[in-house]
Amino acid sequence: MVPPVGAGTPGRTRLTVALGLRLSAAVAVSGPMGTGRLAPWLLAAREAALVALTGLALGWAISFLFLISGGVPGMGAANAVRGGVVLFLMFHHVGMQAASGALLLPHGAEAALGLPSGVPVDATVAFAFLGGTALMMWRLASAGRAVAESTGGRPRDRGLSGARIAVPYALITFVTGWSVSTVVRFPQTSPVAVHPSHAASLLWPLALGAIAGYFGGVRSGPEGAWGSEWWEADEWARRWRAATAGTVRALLVGMALSVVGFLVVAAVRPGTSVRFVGDGLSGGPVAGLGVAILAVLALPNLALWIMAPAFGACVQISSGFGFTPGPYCFLDYRHAPSHPLAARDYYWGLPKLGPPPASFWLFLLVPLAAALVGVLHGLRVGRVRTRREGALVGVLTGAVFIALFLVALLLSTVTVRLGGPIASANTGYFRYGPQPFDAIEFGTVWVVAGGLILGWLTGRRAERAPATTQAARGP
């Protein structure tokens, strides 16, 4: 016999009511079919799609400028759409597999790059427009912050929640990459069949999305990254915050001064500058606008390629095949492309280069100003009180600068991995740009050493200030 509703012992009734309340609460939190657990992933998928649409919209806008202007003959609307996707993927350093029946580049650039002219080529070219990369990282960090705000929790939990954005974002870029397989025909170049590296279209966005999403999630807390319970004491949070602020200031100052220096050099060499501007505008004003946008997106690359030799590094061509010749350095304080010599490099067949003009030594102001402004800004943010603390914050600023400079140089380099008739071995590569690990050596010379000295002096002045104040007050 089934007892009537409400029958039974009082204890059993209370237990039934309690279990019912807990079940109702669980259903209210999780929702039907576990919607609560899926909610952060659904939000991450939506945010990832919005970030991808931002990058695709920028790529399509540039590509359609070339279509409207007729700057690329025979482009067509379908190829314009594919070109926008290619640019979007290049914002993430995704390598493009390119094949051409006879390699030809404008102004014979293939010879200057150490590549044979008119030879069939099958290569994977990896290059990132760092302006686009910075835009995507900023949008991914904002998306990670939105996801983390929906879940809450401690900084670590918020960071991991924000990093969810990487999974749907990488899947979007991976699927998008399969839609691209086209033939690109630029003026003064051979037709090139292009499609993205499918592994890179998954792995690079996954890594960039995880990093940006994690930091966006950590910053989503009510006290941000520096005021949370991560830090046992306020001193270390203050010191690392100072080091980070000083690093960002040093890098931005160095890049800005490098671009200014480049513009000054361009102004005093009007013939070369006019030729390159004329090439950019050869497709008409609309295509010229597209070239100008691409130039702005590549401006961080240019700044880093000038900043590195200003610090003392070398912009070079290096390779790795069955044999590995030494790098061909074409820009530092001892070599300049504007000073070719009659002799030829034994391995590369390119002209040996003489030193740049004496005015190039003015670029020493770039590392000097970057280290000085960046370290002093970090010390001011850190509010150092003693010589020991000042030296510590200065060295920490140098260490963070080395790490960030190293990553920036890695992303700025252009790599060409060859296969087929052009290669002298089954596998090999060319790398163009600064040697990334020079960031360790020259960051130590300029920023770590400068930070140690400036930090010690600043801390010493802070120690003397209370004594001076007390002496002024008198006994």
Q: What percent of the chain has pLDDT over 90?
A: 50
Q: Which of 10-24, 265-279, 439-453 has the highest mean pLDDT?
A: 439-453
The mean pLDDT of 218-225, rounded to a whole number, is 76
Cα separations in angstroms, 62 against 69, 147, 161, 201, 302: 11, 30, 34, 20, 20
d(CA 303, CA 459): 33
Tokens of 258: 């490098």
d(CA 10, CA 22): 18
Q: What is the pLDDT of residue 57?
A: 97
d(CA 349, CA 326): 12
Asked whether residue 22 carries a pLDDT value surpassing 70, the answer given is no
pTM of the complete model = 0.82
Q: Which of 136, 157, 150 is nearest to 43 (CA)?
A: 150
Q: What is the pLDDT of residue 361?
A: 94
DSSP string covering 345-381: -TTT-SEEE-PPPGGGGGGGHHHHHHHHHHHHHHHHH
Q: Which of 453, 416, 451, 413 is nearest to 116 (CA)?
A: 416
Contact 130, 433 (CB under 8 A): no
- The answer for residues whose C-beta is within 8 angstroms of residue 252's C-beta and 6 or more apart is none
Asked whether residue 177 carries a pLDDT value surpassing 80, the answer given is yes
The model's pLDDT over 139-174, given as tens digits with 9 standing for 90+, comes to: 999 999 999 999 888 888 899 999 999 999 999 999
Q: Which of 106, 110, 448 is nearest to 282 (CA)?
A: 106
The mean pLDDT of 360-384, rounded to a whole number, is 95
Token pair 């991450």 is found at 44
The mean pLDDT of 19-39, rounded to a whole number, is 48
The mean pLDDT of 395-406, rounded to a whole number, is 95
Q: What is the pLDDT of residue 444?
A: 92
The model's pLDDT over 318-352, given as tens digits with 9 standing for 90+, comes to: 887 555 567 889 899 999 988 888 888 877 778 89
Q: What is the pLDDT of residue 93?
A: 93
Q: What is the pLDDT of residue 183?
A: 74
Contact 420, 266 (CB under 8 A): no
The helix-helix angle for 130-151 and 198-218 (nearest 10°) equals: 50
Residue 425 confidence class, pLDDT cut points 50, 70, 90: very low
Q: What is the pLDDT of residue 424?
A: 45
